[in-house]
Amino acid sequence: MNENTPYLVNNRETAKRRVLLENHLISAQLSHDLNYVIARGSDMFGPGVIVSTMGSTIFRNALAGRSSTLMGDIDLPHTYTYSKDFAYAMEQLGTSDKATGGVWHVPSAPTLTTNQFLDLIYTQAGTLKKVRRLGKSTLNFMGIFNAQIRAVKREKLYQFENPFVSDHSKFSKTFPEQITPHDTAIKETLDWFSSY
């Protein structure tokens, strides 16, 4: 997907909010009240990233040798964005007139499957990878009793039922990019969680 890919969400309210926000930003810029940039990253991970598909639960489980629970098909390609790379991209976008008024996908390391990404995490943690997969029927059942699971399924499951690959070529053609290799990013993240 690139910057021109339409929103694909299963929740009309979320889609409406995103479109409304972008329309407000565009209107404000046209009336010269605001310059804006929209930076989009894929699922975030890194030091300090707590609530994310690849947040504290996954990294803490890997460090402790416990199993991780994920929804959808973990054998599909999925782009993960390192938080420090996102911060670097935000700095580039926020200080350049070339970025004003645009939507930008921030650079991410090469896309892997979620399963391959988990292999890297557990290998660097020095523990055996154990994964529990939650399919749609399990999430449907759990959602009966848990509103948070119901919301996550509605908002995010589509990202794990199809390839979820982010194209940052627009950024790469315009700005110098900083992409931390997965091994380095995962090591820094594990180090942070082991001392946090």
Tell whether 6 is covered by a domain. no
Reported as a pLDDT band with limits 50, 70 and 90, residue 11 is low
Residues forming a β-bridge with 38:
103
Q: How far apart (Å, rounded) are the C-alpha atoms in residues 114 and 99?
A: 31
In a domain, 21, yes or no: yes
Buried b (16+ CB within 10 A) or exposed e, 79-111: bbbbbbbbebbbebbeeeeebeeebbbbbbbeb
The continuous run of DSSP H or E covering 187 comes out as helix 182-195
1 within some domain: no
For the stretch 93-133, pLDDT in tens is: 999 989 887 889 999 999 999 999 999 999 999 999 999 98
Contact between 106 and 90 under an 8 Å Cβ cutoff? The reply is yes
Look up the domain containing 119 and give its range.
Answer: 12-195
pLDDT of residue 20: 72
Domain assignment present for residue 131? The answer is yes
Residue 16 is assigned to a structural domain of this protein: yes
* Cα dist from 105 to 6, 12, 17, 31, 122, whole Å: 13, 23, 20, 25, 28
In-domain check, residue 91: yes
- Structural domains in the chain (count): 1
Predicted pLDDT of residue 30: 66
Would you call 6 exposed, middle or buried from its count of C-beta atoms within 10 A (0-12, 13-18, 19+)?
exposed
The answer to whether position 139 is within a domain reads yes
pTM: 0.83
When pLDDT is cut at 50, 70 and 90, the band that residue 3 belongs to is: low
What is the three-class DSSP state of 90? Answer: helix
**2 part of a folded domain:** no
- Domain of 41: which CATH number? 3.40.50.720
Q: Which residues pair with 45 in a beta bridge?
A: 82
3-class DSSP assignment, residue 76 = coil
> What is the model's pLDDT at position 15?
63
